[in-house]
Chain A
Amino acid sequence: AQKITQTQPGMFVQEKEAVTLDCTYDTSDQSYGLFWYKQPSSGEMIFLIYQGSYDEQNATEGRYSLNFQKARKSANLVISASQLGDSAMYFCAMREGRGSTLGRLYFGRGTQLTVWP
């Protein structure tokens, strides 16, 4: 079974609108971390936001917020006020166990976001 599922291969959004990128995860660990990364065409993976399994509040970082629904095992990324520079591939990822362990990151297949003027 896949540990991270991203069901949207591509998403389109108009500039200045908000967009939600879906992510569901599968783990039996009580302690885990969820990440979103952005990958522009240049190739670099840019860390956007982190949510720990014990965090009660949804994580926010500027225009990015993570809609964490633990019971549903979902960790959707919300980008508010989209900009043309947001066009990129977005990956959801999960680390099992505590951060102090060298757990590998499990990545989803990614969602290609295109922002149009």
Chain B
Amino acid sequence: DTEVTQTPKHLVMGMTNKKSLKCEQHMGHRAMYWYKQKAKKPPELMFVYSYEKLSINESVPSRFSPECPNSSLLNLHLHALQPEDSALYLCASSQPWANTGELFFGEGSRLTVL
């Protein structure tokens, strides 16, 4: 079982809706990530939080708004999305000081924008 839990697993929303994706980890990791993955493509980095502070924003449109309420939780707020935003959204976590730095991923949230 994955130690990074994402909800919901599937989400369908209209372009005018507001929704949120949630991610939770209990491994004590202090870095958390959002990736976007289109079908048959590799994941693309969106945001990185380190110690609950946003440290990397890969020029993501403002209709995606991340939030890190505490060290275990990561949210991605969605508003006024476009159909091309339909994708698998993966959350990941890691230990910033780990020698290897591997990321642990959740199962993802499959988003469909109508």
Contact A52 to B99, CB < 8 A, known contacts A45-B43, A91-B42, A104-B48: yes
Complex CA distance for A110 and B45, rounded to whole angstroms:
16
Q: Is the CB of A100 within 8 A of B96?
A: yes
Interface size class of B (residues with CB under 8 A): 20 to 34
A52: which B residues are within 8 A, CB to CB? 99-100
Complex CA distance for A45 and B56, rounded to whole angstroms:
21
Which among B40, B88, B103 is the interface contact of A43 at CB below 8 angstroms? B88
Interface size class of A (residues with CB under 8 A): 20 to 34
Q: Is the CB of B99 within 8 A of A100?
A: yes
* B74 interface residue per 8 A CB criterion: no
Q: How far is the CB of B89 from chain A (nearest CB, A)?
A: 10
Q: How far is the CB of B11 from chain A (nearest CB, A)?
A: 13
Contact A102 to B96, CB < 8 A, known contacts A95-B101, A109-B42, A110-B42: yes
Instruction: Give the number of residue pairs across the A-B interface with Cβ within 8 Å.
Output: 67
A102: which B residues are within 8 A, CB to CB? 31, 48, 50, 55-56, 96
Of all chain A residues, which has the CB nearest B110?
Answer: A43
Q: What residues of chain A have their CB less than 8 Å away from a CB belonging to chain B? A: 33, 35, 37, 42-47, 50, 52, 91, 95, 98-105, 107-110
A103: which B residues are within 8 A, CB to CB? 101
Q: Is the CB of A45 within 8 A of B101?
A: no
Complex CA distance for A66 and B49, rounded to whole angstroms:
30
Q: Is the CB of B102 within 8 A of A100?
A: no
A104: which B residues are within 8 A, CB to CB? 45, 48, 56
Q: How far is the CB of B105 from chain A (nearest CB, A)?
A: 4
A-B contact pairs, 29 of them (CB 8 A): A33-B100, A33-B102, A42-B107, A43-B108, A45-B90, A45-B103, A45-B105, A46-B105, A47-B105, A50-B102, A91-B43, A95-B101, A98-B101, A99-B97, A99-B98, A99-B99, A99-B101, A100-B98, A100-B99, A100-B101, A102-B48, A102-B56, A103-B101, A104-B48, A105-B43, A105-B103, A107-B42, A107-B43, A110-B42
